């Protein structure tokens, strides 16, 4: 299966929190070729911003397949304008929409704000 993931999921690879087990299962399935993980190209910078340096190298050793942001920007602007969500969050939504796959996030606020319009947004909590 193909999924877009955001840094809220990858963060749980390094910091033990609720649903870290689900995030780790998703990562391990990616490592084993079960799933394909995708993210916009800003993903490494965003994860580096959220983790301590000691955790960054480990997390970045299993990067999802990165996709350029520029082609997504027209759709990102539309999503951001219509829903008042960040450009960064909209990049993940636009990528999942373009790739016709689910977008997995641990950001429950984002799920509540957008899932009615974008049913392919999936909460990490709902993952097996």
Q: Where are the domains of the chain?
A: 2-126
67 touches 36 (CB < 8 A):
no
**pLDDT attached to residue 82:** 97
80 touches 86 (CB < 8 A):
yes
Instruction: Report how far residue 21's alpha carbon sits from residue 100's, in angstroms, rounded to the nearest whole number.
Output: 26
**pLDDT attached to residue 31:** 95
**pLDDT attached to residue 60:** 85
**pLDDT attached to residue 96:** 98
Q: Residue range 75-87: average pLDDT?
A: 97
**pLDDT attached to residue 15:** 93
Answer CATH for 2-126 from 3.40.50.1010, 3.40.50.2000, 3.40.605.10, 3.40.50.970: 3.40.50.1010
Q: Residue range 57-64: average pLDDT?
A: 88
Instruction: Report how far residue 31's alpha carbon sits from residue 59's, in angstroms, rounded to the nearest whole number.
Output: 12
φ, ψ of residue 33 in degrees (nearest 5): 80, 10
Q: Residue range 99-103: average pLDDT?
A: 98
Q: Does residue 32 carry a pLDDT above 80?
A: yes
């Amino acid at each position: 299966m193909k999924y877009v993931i955001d840094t809220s999921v990858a963060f749980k690879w390094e910091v033990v929190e609720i649903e870290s087990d689900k995030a780790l299962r998703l990562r391990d399935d990616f490592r084993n070729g079960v799933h394909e993980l995708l993210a916009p190209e800003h993903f490494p910078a965003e994860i580096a911003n959220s983790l301590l340096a000691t955790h960054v190298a480990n997390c970045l050793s299993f990067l999802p397949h990165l996709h350029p942001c520029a082609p997504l920007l027209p759709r990102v602007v539309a999503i951001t304008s219509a829903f008042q969500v960040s450009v960064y969050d909209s990049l993940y939504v636009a990528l999942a929409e373009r790739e016709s796959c689910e977008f997995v996030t641990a950001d429950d606020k984002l799920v509540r704000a957008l899932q009615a319009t974008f049913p392919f947004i999936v909460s990490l909590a709902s993952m097996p």
